[in-house]
Chain A
Amino acid sequence: MRRVLPVLVVLAAACTQPLPSPTGVVDLRVLGAAFESPEVLISPCDPRLLASLGGGGSTSQIDPVQLQRLLVVGQRPLTYRALVIDPLGGGRELTYRLRACANQGDRECDNTDDFAELTSGKRAAGEWTFTLDGSAPDKPLLGTALLPDGEPLLLEALKQDSSRGLGGIRIPVMLEVKASDTDEHIFAQKLMVVQCQFFPQMRENVSPVLPGVTLRGEPWGEADVPQLEGRGEVVMEPLDFTALEEDYTVPSFSLTPVALKESWKIAWYTDVGTMASFETGGTNFDGNTTRHRNRWQPDPTVTEPRDVTFYLVVRDGRGGLSWLIRRARWTP
């Protein structure tokens, strides 16, 4: 029955009223956020240290060399970028807060004594960039941030990680965006990964970058604004990027190396109409990978020519993320 029940739910769901597609961006949205670099590697790294620290061991009982090696990574400057879209906002100012916390389950990242403020302010939607290099009070270093009780954020995140860092020490960074004139309120969590180099073959992750995209089989550059006509579907496909997908190694729970290969997933968005598929690519749970062909489905209610923006957000499945933006002119 466990196999059949989901099928029944899906079949029955087909009889319900249609729900909006997440590919259609019609109001305030955060489509993606990324760190550069997406991962910091601690090299080398002793799993016993992580187990001890994660288990609540006192820092005084830990080999100071190892501990220092762990904490020094916090000195690395980082850049945080977010893609915030507000199609109906008309350039309005949005209130934002960026903070980091130790608990991934802290949905608003504001548990008492468990989060650190990074920066805040107001700005209009767009591609937001925050530098976290310690050069100013509103540009703190993420890795050395302290919680209100003085505990290093990095160590507290390790303590609250049920995998004790074997999947990387993951620090949740929360971008809170709020519109003042509506009730739109978004909490968007991005994980910053501090990974231990358990095996020599482990390498620091590099952000995935799409080399380009085609429209109806033709190259579609960032500056291009192709003309689309009619109400028929339009096929889009990214340029082949399989050579950019990295091989990488992670530790198993029994501390043996597990060899993996990235299988990028692309999320597709548009501000007019919808996309046929919300996400393409990635590896299914049957182990097979999927292709990236997608189709734009124009909004049938639109009668006047419109500028259409497309957003392709790519994820590498280990914390790396980037996006492409393309524009076109559509005449129904």
Chain B
Amino acid sequence: MFRWFATVLVVVSCTSAHAYENARRKEVDGGVHVPVLTKAPTLVRLERAKYPEAAEKQGLTANVRLLVTIAADGTVPEAKVIEPVGDGFDEAAVEALLKSEFTPAEVDFAPAPVQIEFAYRFVLQLAPPDAGVSPDATLDGGATGPVAHLKGQLLVRGSRTRIVGGSVRCEETPDREALTDDDGLFDLEVTPGRCSVRAIGPDTEVFKTDETLEPGETKEVRYYAFPKVIGYQTVVRDKREKKEVVRRTVSREELQKVPGTFGDPVRVIQNFPGVARAPFISGQLIVRGANPNQTLTFFDGVEIPLLFHLAGGPSVVNAEFLDRVDFYPGGFGARYGRAVGGVVDVASRKGASDTWHGVAKIDFLDSSVFVEAPITKDVSVAAAARRSYIDVLLPVVTSLATPPNQQGGTINILPVYWDYQVRLDVGKRQAETRDGNSTFSVFAFGSDDQLKVVVSGGQRNTDVSVQFRTLFHRVIGNWTYRRGNVQFKLTPYVGYDLASVDFGIAKLNADRWTQGLRQDLSVDVSKFVTLRAGADVFNQVLIGQAELPVISGVQYASFPGAEPRLETQRIGRTVPTFDGALYLEGDFKFGPLTVTPGLRGSHAFLNGETRNAFDPRLWMRFEPWDRTAFKGSVGLYTQPPQATDMEPPPFGTPSLFHEKAFQASLGVSHKFTDVINVDVTGFFNRRFDNVVSPGRRIINEDGSITQNRSSNDGLGRAYGLEVLARHEVTKNFFGWIAYTLSRSEERRAGSDQDYNLTSFDQTHILTAIASYRLPLGFEVGARFRYVTGRPTSPLVHNADFQRLDANRYSNTFGMFRSARVTDFHQLDIRIDKYFVFEKWTLNVYLDVQNVYNRMNVEATIYEFRGRYGVDVPGIPILPILGVRAQL
């Protein structure tokens, strides 16, 4: 004889603390007001589903996943089966859900309809011996016998995350159930005696244990349920309004799992359409034909001076601190400016509010630690730090791997880097007061890179002493206020940068102080109109000192052959920069059509020169069907020159002005399933007034020469097609296929030359990424890339051309960039293994670059007379082992 019960297994979306916090993090995104889930719905009453009779007779069980719509009053008007299982289970689950009830969810602190994913599990179970006596009646009656209480907390094994909305029951009394609250706490009233505990939470396996309770006893317990998904966290994917034609968003789960990126979040961007492959393992972002310095990187909306340690190493922000990375290859909103290429906006995350967590990571370059914890109910803190130890390991490795230092003397190579991040968040987590709701945060982060190379003495002819240092600190405050349909965000920040170079007799030191302010206001004027406006202002002062030789070719005409001993000069400069921008844009909805005009105006004071810019932009989005959207944009984008480039000649060019780009794109996206979507976008970018070097040389009447360092003579154009087929992060799989067909060209204004291919032009760029979770805590991921070889000028040798004064040969090349190096292709694989302990998780990973050891061409060096060239291969097969511990 069987007796059945149906139990709730998964209430993913709205009952997860992580879900709530994640939603809160997306309050303002790119100036776009994003509806925020401010209160999750909780289950008030679950209608018991009727077990399908035929299935019961056959002993069948099932797990039905549904997409449940919860109305603003908490009722369930609709429940759709996501994956039909048949045998009558689907209909039974839908019927039960439609009769169930939740507390209303709140979006932007107002009751609102939401959709959640829900799982209904049908389990057959032997009826208890005393089936004839209703335990409910006994306990519910409350007076017929003694009871006991099983109280405690339900946590996720390995991470100690509190399980919200979990279910705890004794198998002996299956009709009695306790649901865990926001802190994972539960209180189960049970019949004294033996209790076969069965606990389960969202995304966890069933936890079973036995307890024995005396009459009247209250037993305190703590249970750790094994997560179904190790490493991934439950994340709400609330729908983000998207006015841009292309915005690629990478979540934290994807950021750390893409093979070949060493878990480096920013490098993941390089795997999206529109981004050319950078040489070697550099982190350069070459977006739609723009130069790397024309794509800006923001951290929480604030520009940072340095993206990677040692210019090509790991990114300066701990990956654990990141929530997501938004990448706009073009056509970005008016909130962003000062860039004619793309924009990368890296968003940090607030610390955990349930309990403290930590991550420690060790690999061959550095070690890092990340800690997050709640201080009070509404205050949380997160901190991270990293320090390299290449300076310690390098001498050991080089002494083992290379022959003894035969020339004697001293060799010291000491690269050192460290970084830190600290974030404090204050703000009520849920209810809005009558005066609205405010949250505050302070985020401090910084980075230091030092490279010291000393080679001297012994039999060497040349002593080398080089020391570089790049340091920056940023402190970003944030006040976010929302009330009704108004949202206001204020982000003041200060920063300090230091750059110093000590190279032989040359010494340069530059201190830069930055103060800035961002303000964003979003108002939902009506159902059809949303307005956004804001300010983006910063002031910088650079104080630089230099002691360096007179510069040949810049300050006087050099002669080839043997550089003379030079007199040194002292240069001290103070370079002020002010750039204030205002922006305004609005969404006007006409049924399925949304039109968004925008304007950004800026006034800049750059090293004594005044420059103004106005960028009109327009976006259109047409959604004739629920899953399909057509998108288009046109706009003007400007980027001011660096104030330091506007120094008087010969060190700069005061007459420089804004670089400009006209960007246009047109695309369509279609969501084939809830997790698979395809996006196709065509683009055309026309860049003009680009800053190029060298600048014009002006012969003055007195015979002197004004040598400008650069000029606005650069022209460029890029056009192409981008395709992205993406499978969102699910429990076992994520991945995407990115393809770009493009052409990027450049020329110099005033020359009689036609457009030439840029050095980074890559006709076909194909990237395929997939990551799949295997049993036993294993996960395997792969990345395959195919890229057309970069343009090169063919070597044509018909004679030796010698410059005897310089003692060098000139190579002879054919038509400029008329050939290409061989195509690039490479496979990278990453294997993760998770060991889940009660309170922590150990992750050991192996990231193997270039698995089949393809000899890709990264550069070409030539025989000294230019008679032939030899290809320089890229990174050979490179396995990297790392360990990551998560508390």
A residues whose Cβ falls under 8 Å from a Cβ of B: 1-5, 8-9, 12-13, 15-17, 19-22, 30, 32-33, 46-51, 54-55, 107-108, 162-164, 166-168, 184-191, 193, 248, 250-255, 258-265, 267, 277, 279-294, 313, 315-319, 321
Contacts and interface: CB of A to CB of B under 8 A. Distances in A.
B626 interface: no
Given A286-B503, A315-B807, A1 B311 contact: yes
A12 B564 contact: no
A166 B650 CA distance: 15
Contacts of A263: 562-565
Interface string B438-462: 0000000000000000000001111
29 contacts: A5-B282, A9-B858, A9-B872, A12-B859, A15-B872, A19-B863, A20-B864, A47-B704, A49-B703, A167-B559, A168-B559, A188-B804, A189-B801, A189-B803, A250-B557, A252-B550, A252-B556, A254-B704, A255-B702, A255-B704, A260-B567, A263-B564, A263-B565, A280-B461, A281-B461, A283-B565, A285-B563, A287-B568, A293-B459
A46 B701 CA distance: 12
A16 B697 contact: no
Nearest to B555: A252
A190 B805 CA distance: 6
A253 B562 contact: no
Given A5-B280, A47-B704, A253-B650, A277 B562 contact: no
Contacts of A262: 562, 564-565
B742 interface: no
Given A12-B858, A267-B807, A22 B802 contact: no
Given A8-B280, A167-B556, A19 B563 contact: no
Interface string B868-884: 00111110100000000
A167 B557 CA distance: 5
B799 interface: yes
Contacts of A187: 799-802
Given A30-B802, A164-B703, A286 B504 contact: yes
B484 interface: no
B503 A316 contact: no
A318 to B, nearest CB: 5
A13 B557 CA distance: 33
Contact of B705 (A163, A277, A285, A288): A163
A184 B799 CA distance: 7
Contacts of A316: 561-562
Contacts of B798: 185
Nearest to A248: B564
Interface string B478-511: 0000000000000000000000000111100000
Nearest to A266: B562
B436 interface: no
Contacts of B562: 262-265, 281-283, 315-317
Contact of A287 (B556, B566, B804, B807): B566
B284 interface: yes
B401 interface: no
Nearest to A282: B562
Contacts of B650: 253
A13 B861 contact: yes
Contacts of A318: 559, 561, 564
Contacts of B548: 287
A48 B702 CA distance: 5
A172 to B, nearest CB: 9
A5 to B, nearest CB: 6
Interface in B500-527: 503-506
Give the residue among B284, B805, B870, B876 with the most A Cβ atoms within 10 A: B805
A9 B870 contact: no
Given A13-B859, A250-B556, A290-B461, A4 B310 contact: yes
A315 B873 CA distance: 36
B409 interface: no
B673 interface: no
A108 B872 CA distance: 30
A13 B706 CA distance: 39
A70 B870 CA distance: 48
B557 A253 contact: yes
Contacts of A168: 557, 559
Contacts of A321: 561, 804-805
A16 B861 contact: yes
A5 B279 contact: yes
A290 B463 CA distance: 7
A317 B703 contact: no
A1 B699 contact: no
Contacts of B464: 286
B759 interface: no
A167 B560 CA distance: 11
Give the residue among B550, B802, B861 with the most A Cβ atoms within 10 A: B802
Nearest to A55: B699
A265 B559 CA distance: 13
Contacts of A267: 807
A258 B555 contact: yes
B408 interface: no
B565 A51 contact: no
Given A258-B556, A263-B565, A319-B805, A16 B870 contact: yes
A288 B563 CA distance: 10
B789 to A, nearest CB: 16
Contacts of B704: 47, 253-255
Given A4-B282, A51-B703, A319-B561, 18 more contacts: A1-B292, A1-B312, A4-B312, A8-B280, A8-B282, A9-B859, A19-B863, A187-B799, A250-B556, A252-B555, A253-B650, A253-B706, A282-B563, A291-B461, A293-B459, A317-B564, A318-B559, A318-B561
B563 A315 contact: no
Interface string B559-589: 1011111111000000000000000000000
A51 B863 contact: no
A253 B705 contact: yes
Nearest to A313: B807
B353 interface: no
B696 to A, nearest CB: 10
B561 A3 contact: no
Contacts of A54: 699
A55 B871 CA distance: 44
Contact of A289 (B556, B565, B871): B565
Contact of A258 (B506, B567, B802): B567
A1 B858 CA distance: 15
B744 to A, nearest CB: 19
Contacts of A162: 697
Given A1-B282, A16-B870, A167-B557, A22 B864 contact: yes
B507 to A, nearest CB: 10
Contacts of A248: 564
A253 B803 CA distance: 24
Contacts of B864: 19-22
A105 to B, nearest CB: 10
A108 B703 CA distance: 31
Q: Return the 3 tightest CB-CB contacts between A and B, nearest first.
A: A167-B557, A286-B504, A47-B703
Contacts of A250: 556-557
A15 B549 CA distance: 35
A253 B556 contact: yes
B555 A277 contact: no
Interface string B796-825: 001111111101001010000000000000
B685 interface: no
A281 B559 CA distance: 16
